[in-house]
Amino acid sequence: MTSVLPDTRTEKGLARVAQALARWTEKWFPDAYVFALVGVFLVALAALANGSTPQTIVESFGTGFWDLTAFTLQMAMVVLTGYVVATSPPVARLICTLAAVPRSAASAVSFVALLSMSVSFVNWGLSLIFGGLLARAIARRADLRVDYRALGAAAFMGLGAVWALGMSSSAAQLQATAASLPPALLAVTGILDFGSTIFTWQSLTMCAVIIALTVAVAHFSAPRGDAIRTALDLGVDLDDTPVPAAPRTRPGEWLEYSRILPILAGLLTLGWLVSQLLTLPILTVVSSLNGYLLVFLMLGLVLHGTPRNFLQAVSKAVPATAGILVQFPLYAAMAAILTRAVGNGGLTVSEHLAEFFTSIGGGGGFAVIIALYTVVLGVFVPSGGGKWLVEAPYVMQSATDVQMNLGWTVQIYNVAEALPNLVNPFFMLPLLAVLGLKARDLVGFTFLQFIFHLPVVLVLVWLLGETFAFVAPVLP
C-alpha cells in the first residue's frame, strides 16, 4: 500500500527543509539511467571541445562500452547475493529475535541504524534488505510505538553512511582485482588490495566515527510522543507471512526440493575457502571479488535449504540489479572517451582534469577538494560506485602527481560517495519497496544526517590523510 503524504506544515526547522527538498527531488530528478546517458554526451562534447575528432570519440565509445562486462556482472551479483541471504529463513528468524531487543522508540531507531551499517560493512545489498525487514519487524511490535519513517531512514544508513568503506565497496573491489581494471587505470594505480584501502587503521577509524555519529543523530532525531507516525498511520501493511513453495507434482522435481545438493555445494565452497586461507595471505583472499561472491552465493543457497526456495529468492532479487546492468556500460564508455579520445596537444580530457586537480597541490586541501567534487557529482550521477570508473583515471593520476597515498585517495572517494545517497533517493528504491514507503517519507531524516556527516567527513579525510606516506603503484 502507498503511504499517506506527510503534512509538511507540521514539520519544523531542518525536517521541513528536508521534506521540501524531497518533494523537489521527486518532481524534477529523472531516473539515474538518464543521468548516465546525459553524462556520456557531456563527456563526448568535452572531448570534442578538446579537439578530438568525431571518429575518435565514437570509436572510444564503442570499444569502451563493454570494457567492464565482468565488473558489471560482479556488482549485480553483490546486490543479488545480499538480497538472497537477507530473505532466507534463518536470517528471518534472526531478524525476529533482534526486533525484540529495543526498549524505547529512540533506541529502536538507533538500533536499526547500527545494525544496518554493521551489515553493510560486509555487503551493502544485504544491508538494504536486512535493514528494511528489521524495521518492519520492529514496527509490528504491539508493545512499542515507533515512527516508521525514522525506522526506514535508519535502515538506509548502511548505504547512506558506510557502505563504500566496507568489503563490498565497488571502488575498493575494483582496485584489488587486476582482471577487472581498465588497462589505462591499471597503469596509473597498480593493484591496491584491502590492506591499502578499507583495512587501514585510518579507514577503520573513519568508519567507526561515522557509525557513532550516525547512531547518535538517529537516536536524538527520532520523533517522540504525538510526532510519531506508525506504519498504521502511514497505511502500510506489515504482514510478512512467507509464501510457501508450491508442492512437488512430479518425480523429476525431487532434487529441487531436496537439501542434498545445497549441502554438497556448501561443503565444496567451505573446502575451497579453507584451501585459499591456508595457501594465500588473508588479505589476498578477502580482497578477491570473485571469491567473495562465490561465498555469498553458496551461503544463500545453503540458507534457503532447497534449490527451489533459492531460485524463488533469486527471481525476486533480479529486478534490483537492473540499474547496474544498464548503467555500468555507460560509465565504461564515459571512461573510455575520457582516457582514449586524444585531442589538442596529444592530451585527453582525463589528462586535462588531472592537471587541474594537480594544480590544487597535495595535503589536506587536495583531499577536501576531491571529496567535495565526488559529493557534488554523486548528487547528479548516482552510481553505487560505478562513477569511480569515470573519476579514477584523472583523480588517481593527480594523486600520484601530488604524492597523495593512492589507497587513501580511494577511501576519500568511498566515504564521499556515500554522502549523495542521503540526498538523492535513487538507491533507496529497493528499500522503499520492502518498506512500502515513498522517498519523501525518509529524506527528511536522511538529509539531517547529511548535514552532520558532510563537515565531519571533510575533517576526517584531511586529518587522517596527513598520516599517510606515498607508495608507488604496484603493477601485476
**What does the alpha-carbon distance between residue 367 and residue 398 come to, in Å, rounded to a whole number?**
11
* Residues counted in the chain: 476
Phi, psi of 190 (to 5 degrees): 65, -160
**What does the alpha-carbon distance between residue 154 and residue 108 come to, in Å, rounded to a whole number?**
9
* pLDDT tens-place string over residues 282-317: 877 776 778 888 998 999 999 999 999 999 889 888
Answer yes or no: is pLDDT of 161 > 70.
yes
Residue 454's pLDDT is: 96
Which has more confidence, 58 or 284? 58
Answer yes or no: is pLDDT of 20 > 80.
no
> What average pLDDT does the chain have?
84
**What does the alpha-carbon distance between residue 87 and residue 111 come to, in Å, rounded to a whole number?**
20
Answer yes or no: is pLDDT of 225 > 80.
yes
Cα distance between the two ends of the chain: 53
Residue 164's pLDDT is: 87
> 452, 19 in Cβ contact below 8 A?
no
Q: Which of 34-38, 159-163, 165-169, 447-451 has the lowest mean pLDDT?
A: 34-38
How far from the centroid of its chain's Cα atoms is residue 416's Cα? 12
The domains of the chain are located at: 30-234+254-465
> 409, 473 in Cβ contact below 8 A?
no
Residue 467's pLDDT is: 93
Answer yes or no: is pLDDT of 19 > 60.
no
Task: Quickly list H helices, 341-438.
Answer: 349-359, 363-380, 388-401, 406-418, 429-435
Residue 8's pLDDT is: 44
Answer yes or no: is pLDDT of 18 > 60.
no
> 349, 58 in Cβ contact below 8 A?
no
**Radius of gyration of the chain measured on its C-alpha atoms:** 23
Phi, psi of 444 (to 5 degrees): -55, -40
Span 138-145, average pLDDT:
92
Which has more confidence, 280 or 22? 280
Between the alpha carbon of residue 115 and those of residues 34, 56, 122, 130, 475, the distances in Å are 33, 49, 11, 9, 38
Span 399-411, average pLDDT:
92
Residue 82's pLDDT is: 81
Name the band, by pLDDT with cuts 50, 70 and 90, for residue 6: very low
pLDDT > 90: percent of the chain: 37
Of the candidates 136, 148, 331, 174, the residue with the CA atom closest to the CA atom of residue 228: 148
**What angle (nearest 5°) sits at the alpha carbon of residue 141, between those of residues 81 and 302?**
25
* pLDDT tens-place string over residues 66-112: 887 887 888 788 778 888 888 899 998 999 999 999 999 999 999 99
Query: Which neighbouring-strand residues pair with 474?
Result: 190
**What type of residue is 241?**
T
Residue 411's pLDDT is: 95
Name the band, by pLDDT with cuts 50, 70 and 90, for residue 434: confident
Residue 298's pLDDT is: 95
Residue 80's pLDDT is: 87
Span 396-416, average pLDDT:
92
Residue 174's pLDDT is: 84
> 332, 68 in Cβ contact below 8 A?
yes
Name the band, by pLDDT with cuts 50, 70 and 90, for residue 2: very low
Answer yes or no: is pLDDT of 7 > 50.
no
Phi, psi of 440 (to 5 degrees): -60, -25
* pLDDT tens-place string over residues 308-346: 999 988 988 888 788 778 888 888 888 888 888 998 888
Residue 242's pLDDT is: 62
Name the band, by pLDDT with cuts 50, 70 and 90, for residue 1: very low
* pLDDT tens-place string over residues 438-472: 877 888 889 889 999 999 999 999 999 999 988 88
Name the band, by pLDDT with cuts 50, 70 and 90, for residue 209: very high
Answer yes or no: is pLDDT of 270 > 60.
yes
* pLDDT tens-place string over residues 253-263: 788 888 999 99
Q: Is the dihedral of CA 159, 162, 168, 173 positive or negative?
A: positive
Answer yes or no: is pLDDT of 4 > 50.
no
